[in-house]
Amino acid sequence: MVRLLQDPRKAGQPLLVLYDVQDDRRRTRVMAACKDYGLARMQYSAYQGKLTRTARLELETRLVKALGNSPGTIMVLQLEQAQLDTATTIEQLGDDDR
């Protein structure tokens, strides 16, 4: 059973994590960190969720360690709930997804 590093019942700010990491092992560490904090994968290299300020800082520290000296970029964006409420999502399922 996975133990989340933040209680999902705690209020938090919407967060978006985007990354482009070349090294497979480092990329796996970035993905694991996002999952450990309860973020949901929305694309191959994007996770979203809600984190408290403390959890966000912990996650950012872990992401820095995960990337190490490898080439790559990780962006952590804090959003406002209003941005998500007014966002438009366009999704087209491929034949394999139906």
- The CA distance from 71 to 20, in Å, is 9
Q: What is the rounded CA–CA span in Å between residue 36 and residue 26?
A: 15
15, 50 in Cβ contact below 8 A?
yes
96 is in an annotated binding site: no
Q: Which residues are annotated as a binding site for Mg(2+)?
A: 20
Q: Which residues are annotated as a binding site?
A: 20
